[in-house]
Structure 1
Amino acid sequence: MEIKLVRGPQERWRLLLGKYAERQFGDCLSKADGRRDAALDYLYTREYKKRGIKVEKVGGRRGSLDPTQLRALDWLAEVRALFPNNVFEALQSEAVERYQLADLLKDPQVWEDIEPDTSLLRTLLTYQDRADPAMQAELRRIAKNIIDDILDRLRTRVVRAMSGRRNRHQRSSMKASANFDARATVRANLNTWDNEKTRLIADQLVFMSRQKRHLDWTIVLCVDQSGSMTESLIFSALMAAILTGLPGIKVKMVLFDTSVIDVTDQLDDPLALLLSVQLGGGTNIGKALSYCETLIEQPSRTILALVSDFYEGAGPRPLFASVARLFEARVKMLGIAALDHSGQADFDRNIAEQLAGLGMNVAAMSPESFADWLAEVMK
């Protein structure tokens, strides 16, 4: 595929304005940019149709991606090949959520080809209530497959973080690469040195055991269910499901907007939990934390993780008072402004700074980093 790294102003404006600027700018696009232009046109021509504007064909087009000829599956493969992954995910979400591409939803080959990720899952959860009854079961099936895939990948990292530090002084029969002790293996095989081949022949491999940590902790996840926190909510539900399966850890989960809902009894089924969420609404963090206080039985063995952008809709005094009480009771507190792969967030920095001053550690992080932090606290 032709890749043109440097574009002049004329080419950039042509791509920005779309096919209707071709008369003014002429045939200035490279072959690869022509394909990108045609792929974007396939999706965004729908904006004209939504507004009742008649779409006319423009002569002299180089590509053959006319919407009447291209299937959704072909378009999906095309944008995946032409654009970086983050752009592809955005276009995929726009196609389903904004333009409701029926072909994209109804073609089973599309779902076999789509990469499972939280961006797509977020789109499916958003679209679920608007899909016709025949599609709802299919959307649930796809969402479950995505959840299972993410859980499988995330569980390995979480379990490893929680399983304890490696112990070099105790040997193990568990031959896992993460436990391989290279130095001890060399020492154990010094008598097998091959002078002719100048190499060590390792007949005996040595592996370290892992110290088992006694995990008698309660983790309270208090999660904002406003629309801007959707991806963090997804990862919170998945983390809760994984942590619930670990020995010695009790997990409680609370969702909130201006109301507070205890979903602790749903943690074994993340899909059902996420489908029950009503995204949006206001935010009353103080009310949610006040409820979480009633769930704490052993403060010094409790971790409270507040997942929120800290945009408090109510007055902040109840929130600050609750955090001060929790700190005085020696509850470990973490304020998570974002729980996603980006580790970046838009949040109320003023509120966050005041919460940090009251004893809450505040950060935006990935789920893997969150697992490492929990393991560090539980030492």
Structure 2
Amino acid sequence: MIDEAERLRRWRLLVGGDDTADTTDTVSLSGDDERIDAAMAAVYDSHGPGESDRPRSAGLGASAPRVVGWLGDIRSYFPSPVVQVMQRDAVERLHLHQLLLEPELLDAVEPDVNLVATLISMSRLLPERSRATARSVVSKVVEQIERRIADRTRSAVHGALNRSARTRRPRRHTDIDWPRTISANLKNWLPEYRTVVPERLVGYGRRQNLVQRSVVVAIDQSGSMAESVVYAAIFGAVMASLRALRTSLVVFDTTVVDLTDQLHDPVELLFGTHLGGGTDINAAVAYCQDLITSPADSVFVLISDLYEGGIAGELLRRVNAMKLAGVQVIVLLALSDSGAPSYDRGHAAALEAIGVPAFACTPDAFPDLLACAIERGDIAAWAHRFRAAAGS
């Protein structure tokens, strides 16, 4: 049981020391509690920084040393996920973007996807003294995400390729997949002979050492897609490491840039993007169409909020033409851990009408989605199951 004094202490830390609640007037803080209160007040003071007569109006000011001290405090008193949220809120609420150009501040922050997105959006503004530190921060996050997704992505892709390469007419005895053959013929069990009659053979395909699928990923560089750009770049690098896939990665705003030759280095790739600006999705899709030479063996992933600055009607015709040619088309409104994205609902509905579902996907679910596409599964059904599981 939490006693009354502890309950009031927690409530005091939650609402602050102003006059929002009379019950907190008699609660005094000391030691660590004062520092916790000051750390939260610096960001979440409802009166805004600069009104120093208010108890919760500390702010962070335009001082890198002060921000570094604040970062040290929040890392001492809060777990890493909370630290990342508070950092993001501080940058957004207190407009600390300029301070992120300071090397000592970058050394002190807790690296996360949102910080990487902020840094790559500011990459052209980074002074020389901050570039090495910024790359180090981005590299740490890339390594963290690769550890999270790489093995699962490789396993999902290899499994999907093996399943899609099955044949019912294996030419050699060594090509027969006996466990799957037995499973497929259990109805033909003859108890008197204690054997299964294999009416249908299931064999391994013999293309494992060849490129079996082409995957083309097109990423919208508009500012709202920053987190998706980070994840897509890392997934692209992981897929590019698989010999059975031919992976192309294209980023676009009003221009289209092919970054396929940088997939070996996702950090360099991220610094090659330029977040913000307008959007011409139609031009990007047109470019990607030219990259696809074998539609039946190709997967096209468009990651965009669908706010089109180009020719919307032509965009739909191109996507429909790709689908009719046999390309597995996936449209992701976001590839991130964040909540429901903002997107053009009219264009999303138009895509749904031609049989191309548009939905947001988490990074942890993307390997299974990719496997479904490689096996030429029902993407719409997969999206429906994913939405249901996510409760959306």
TM-score for both structures, normalised by structure 2: 0.69
The question of whether the paired residues in 2 share the 8 Å contact of 1:162 and 1:371 is answered with: yes
Residue pairs, 1:261-280, within 5 angstroms: 261-280=257-276
| In structure 2, C-alpha distance between the alignment counterparts of 1:137 and 1:298, rounded to whole Å | 42
What letter is aligned with 1:337? L
The question of whether the paired residues in 2 share the 8 Å contact of 1:311 and 1:348 is answered with: yes
What is aligned with 1:89?
Answer: 84
Cα displacement (A) at 1:226: 0.3
What is aligned with 2:336?
Answer: 340
Distance 1:331 1:78, change over 3 A: same
Distance 1:253 1:74, change over 3 A: closer
What is aligned with 2:350?
Answer: 354
Distance 1:79 1:103, change over 3 A: farther
What letter is aligned with 2:322? L
What letter is aligned with 2:118? T
| In structure 2, C-alpha distance between the alignment counterparts of 1:132 and 1:288, rounded to whole Å | 31
| In structure 2, C-alpha distance between the alignment counterparts of 1:213 and 1:22, rounded to whole Å | 69
SS at match of 1:288: helix
What is aligned with 2:115?
Answer: 120
What is aligned with 1:283?
Answer: 279
What letter is aligned with 1:37? D
Q: Which among 239, 245, 254 is matched to residue 241 of structure 2?
A: 245
The question of whether the paired residues in 1 share the 8 Å contact of 2:298 and 2:327 is answered with: yes
TM-score for both structures, normalised by structure 1: 0.71
Cα offsets for 1:209-253 (capped at 9, x unmatched): x99984511101011000000111111100110000102210111
SS at match of 2:309: coil
Cα displacement (A) at 1:20: 5.1
What is aligned with 1:26?
Answer: 25
What letter is aligned with 2:25? G
| In structure 1, C-alpha distance between the alignment counterparts of 2:136 and 2:51, rounded to whole Å | 37
| In structure 2, C-alpha distance between the alignment counterparts of 1:260 and 1:313, rounded to whole Å | 13
What is aligned with 2:322?
Answer: 326
Distance 1:92 1:296, change over 3 A: same
| In structure 2, C-alpha distance between the alignment counterparts of 1:265 and 1:374, rounded to whole Å | 22
SS at match of 1:310: coil
What is aligned with 1:300?
Answer: 296
The question of whether the paired residues in 1 share the 8 Å contact of 2:286 and 2:318 is answered with: yes
What letter is aligned with 1:72? W
Larger mean Cα displacement after TM superposition, 330-339 or 92-101 = 92-101
Are residues 1:147 and 2:142 paired? yes
Which consecutive residues of structure 2, in runs of 5 or more, have no partner in the other structure? 59-64, 164-175, 181-203, 376-392
Residue identity (%): 30
What is aligned with 2:42?
Answer: 42
Distance 1:37 1:136, change over 3 A: same
Which consecutive residues of structure 1, in runs of 5 or more, have no partner in the other structure? 62-66, 172-209
What is aligned with 2:217?
Answer: 221
| In structure 2, C-alpha distance between the alignment counterparts of 1:324 and 1:333, rounded to whole Å | 9
Name the count of aligned residue pairs.
321
The question of whether the paired residues in 2 share the 8 Å contact of 1:235 and 1:367 is answered with: yes
Cα displacement (A) at 1:108: 7.9
What is aligned with 2:131?
Answer: 136
The question of whether the paired residues in 1 share the 8 Å contact of 2:218 and 2:250 is answered with: yes
Cα displacement (A) at 1:163: 2.5
Cα displacement (A) at 1:99: 2.3
| In structure 1, C-alpha distance between the alignment counterparts of 2:12 and 2:266, rounded to whole Å | 45
Cα displacement (A) at 1:138: 1.1
Cα displacement (A) at 1:375: 1.4
| In structure 2, C-alpha distance between the alignment counterparts of 1:358 and 1:69, rounded to whole Å | 51
SS at match of 1:368: coil
What is aligned with 1:199?
Answer: none
The question of whether the paired residues in 2 share the 8 Å contact of 1:163 and 1:211 is answered with: no
| In structure 2, C-alpha distance between the alignment counterparts of 1:33 and 1:278, rounded to whole Å | 42
Cα displacement (A) at 1:254: 1.2
Distance 1:151 1:231, change over 3 A: same
Cα displacement (A) at 1:353: 1.6
SS at match of 1:294: helix
SS at match of 1:246: coil
What is aligned with 1:181?
Answer: none
The question of whether the paired residues in 2 share the 8 Å contact of 1:124 and 1:139 is answered with: yes
| In structure 2, C-alpha distance between the alignment counterparts of 1:3 and 1:347, rounded to whole Å | 47
| In structure 2, C-alpha distance between the alignment counterparts of 1:211 and 1:79, rounded to whole Å | 56
The question of whether the paired residues in 2 share the 8 Å contact of 1:163 and 1:213 is answered with: no
RMSD: 4.0
Distance 1:364 1:241, change over 3 A: same
